[in-house]
Chains A and B, each alone.
Chain A
Amino acid sequence: MDLLEFARGPALQWAAYILVAGTIWRLVGILLLKEKPDFSEPRARGGLGAALKVIYTRSFTATPFKKATLYPKMLAYVQHLGLFAVVLLFVPHIVFFEGFLGFGWPGLPNNAIYLLGVAMVVASIALLVRRLTSPVLKLISNFDDYFSWFVSVLPIVTGLIIPLRLGLRYETLLAIHILSVALLMIWLPFGKLGHAFLVFVTRGTTGMVFERRGAKT
């Protein structure tokens, strides 16, 4: 078994198992905690509708905070949208997903994907610089913040390198890229990248609690 076969086979397979098992473990550990009933008389309807509302609305910054948070928010948008596009709209990725899903979807031109990938890396570097220089972020950051940054940027960088070759065989570069994706999948459920699924829980619960009060969400 060569490196590419290992990356495509057991590495990716086990990374997927760990991703799924870790995510379930973390969610179950949170969702199974006891929940006390709220006996206060509601002012408005809470429930699932309120949860969905806040899951959507909290994607946007409230006007009073726009000025102060504009820079990191813009970078975060570029980072997230770039990642989303690169993962789901790059034609070779779509072909890969089609392999086990049985269906595909239209992708973006390769050059557009490369551009988005570069933008994502630049935004991530800017966010890292901010984390390393802001007194607030320096204080509250820990290993998770830096390692999560590393494992989320690595697949984009290794992907962008593939067409450049850099004197290495295509198969080797592809294997490195897939292994970096496997690393991301393995780490995702355990660190702060878990916000990919926790965001629905945190925003949703806040929506249910505060919409019920008729309070600002």
Chain B
Amino acid sequence: MTTVDGRHKLDREAERLAYKPPEIRHDKQGDMPNEERINKAMHHFVKNFNTQTASYLDGCLHCGMCADACHFHVRTDDPRYTPIWKIELFKRTYKRQVGPFAFFYRLLGLKRQVTIDDLEEWQHLLYDSCTVCGRCSLVCPMGIDIAGLVSMARHGMFKAGLIPHELHEVAKRAAETGSPLGITADKFEDRIEWMADEHDVEIPVDLEEADVLAVMSSIEIQKYPQSIAATAQILNAAGEKWTFRLDGFEATNFGMLSGNPEWQKNATMKLINAAIKVGAKLLVLPECGHAYMAMRWMGANMYGKPLPFKVMHISEYLSDALDKGKIKVRKVDTSVTYHDPCQVSRRGGATKAARNVLKHLGVDFREMEYGGDYNWCCGGGGGVVTITRADPLRRRVFKLKMDQVEKTEAKELLSSCANCRQSFDDSQEYFNWDYKMGSLMEMVAENLEEDGS
């Protein structure tokens, strides 16, 4: 006998994953003439040009192989989702205005000038249908980092006021309040007190001096607050002199995702200043993929010099602490598969850390087919999960992830990114999927041995 859960409509006839192209909606910010928007878009795209980006834009063979690596193209067969096509306008502008033969291109009219209609159309391609996951960069026979170019193109789109409304709102809120979800210092403090009581764990806040500064993602604070307790349990067990700081706790960086370098820098500098203030030797980043990219690989460049402290993703910290015996964990009798956050693994280089942690946990680890560095993205990275008009497309590409996970037949699914977790939770609910995303860090915290230190 079976009963139907009334929350989910039972419709056996419907095409489960039918794809409807998103409604055309061209969002605009600010009030400026179209000509100004075009000029700003192109100026801010070429502003930070260097040999790397110029060679990428000049070197494309138009082989189209990147399409086979992109989840958006693979799941829809829409040629517009070919990664290199997503930066076509900017490639055109580079050749027309900056490239070595720009004079001839202009003289002979070989490259058409970009129009406002073009830019509006590309808003969907640069934001809704690219998670900046970088899988396309691994297939390109020329080695072009297309994802990096998309990020640069977003700089132009942001300055032109041509980004999706939802992402702009979230990024603006982060710039104004310090958190994309509006988590103020007071709210964070409340959550810390709640978690300290609930989990009976000591959580140091605003210490004047500490060796380790821990930071969180608003998504964790808001949706997965147990992460706060888990972080504290682990750092306490490791015997670290650590602290949270209310003047620098938000690790997400929606300035980076939306394409505003000023907001990106402000968010980064808050954490850097907090770490310097307490004399931290180590900044531990939370389970968040893009936070890792923003601080580990871009933080020092925002600062303008090498950082006076080390930066680690929590999975790297766990791996290191377990190897050194700073913490010990009980063996866990279950089978696990792991979803790699793109910015931590493929683009960040920390792929091995999570696997080492799982090895210490003694689980039956089941790698996904083409997991690790070639992992399919959850579909929600790069700010896509915030864009509600992109939901149908995001859920459609999530089918690739579902297949990848299901093939492992693992009992548990873990990751180390709250943004991925949010994306998984949304699609899990939408599809009524059997798997529920869990946290690597929380599994470690739940299985800490008392004599770890």
Contact = CB atoms under 8 A, between A and B. Distances in A.
Q: Do A and B bind each other?
A: yes
Interface of A: 25-26, 28-36, 38-41, 43-44, 54, 58-59, 61-65, 68-69, 72-73, 76, 134-145, 190, 192, 194-195, 198-199, 201-207, 209-210, 213-217
B62 interface: yes
A29 B304 contact: no
B300 A199 contact: no
B284 to A, nearest CB: 15
Most chain B beta-carbon neighbours within 10 Å: one of A144, A198, A216: A216
B39 to A, nearest CB: 21
B194 interface: no
A132 B363 CA distance: 51
Contact of A142 (B55, B62, B64, B297): B62
A210 B150 CA distance: 17
Nearest to A211: B349
B336 to A, nearest CB: 21
Instruction: Please provide the 7 A-B residue pairs with the shortest distance between their CB atoms, ordered closest to farther.
Output: A29-B100, A214-B349, A216-B373, A39-B300, A68-B68, A203-B143, A215-B349
B347 interface: yes
B8 interface: no
Contact of A35 (B51, B370, B373): B51
B99 interface: yes
A162 B351 CA distance: 56
Given A40-B301, A135-B77, A136-B79, A192 B65 contact: no
B224 to A, nearest CB: 27
B144 interface: yes
A41 B306 contact: yes
Contacts of A140: 62, 64, 79, 82, 84-85, 88
Given A140-B82, A192-B62, A215-B347, A62 B374 contact: yes
B139 A206 contact: no
B439 interface: no
Interface in B41-56: 48-52, 54-56
A12 to B, nearest CB: 23
A29 B58 CA distance: 11
A40 B300 contact: yes
A64 B141 CA distance: 14
A78 B82 CA distance: 25
Contacts of B305: 39
B139 A65 contact: yes
Contacts of A36: 48, 50, 301
A86 to B, nearest CB: 21
B360 interface: no
Most chain B beta-carbon neighbours within 10 Å: one of A32, A33, A202, A214: A202
Given A40-B297, A194-B58, A205-B52, A54 B68 contact: no
Interface size class for chain B? 35 or more
A28 B99 CA distance: 11
A201 B59 contact: yes
Nearest to B301: A39
B310 interface: yes
B79 A139 contact: yes
13 contacts: A30-B100, A33-B54, A34-B49, A36-B48, A39-B304, A41-B311, A65-B138, A68-B65, A195-B61, A198-B142, A203-B142, A216-B374, A217-B138
B299 interface: yes
A124 to B, nearest CB: 14
Contacts of B79: 135-136, 138-140
Given A39-B303, A65-B68, A137-B62, 16 more contacts: A25-B101, A26-B101, A30-B100, A40-B296, A58-B141, A61-B139, A64-B370, A68-B68, A76-B141, A137-B64, A138-B79, A198-B142, A202-B143, A203-B143, A205-B52, A214-B350
A201 B51 contact: yes
A185 B315 CA distance: 53
B370 to A, nearest CB: 4
Given A31-B51, A36-B50, A206-B144, A198 B62 contact: no
A212 to B, nearest CB: 9
B278 interface: no
B217 interface: no
Contacts of B350: 214
A217 B139 CA distance: 10
A201 B306 contact: no
Contacts of B56: 202, 205
Nearest to A144: B62
Contacts of A43: 349
B59 A198 contact: yes
Contacts of B101: 25-26, 29, 190
A152 B373 CA distance: 36
Given A68-B68, A209-B145, A216 B52 contact: no
B64 A206 contact: no
Contacts of B172: none
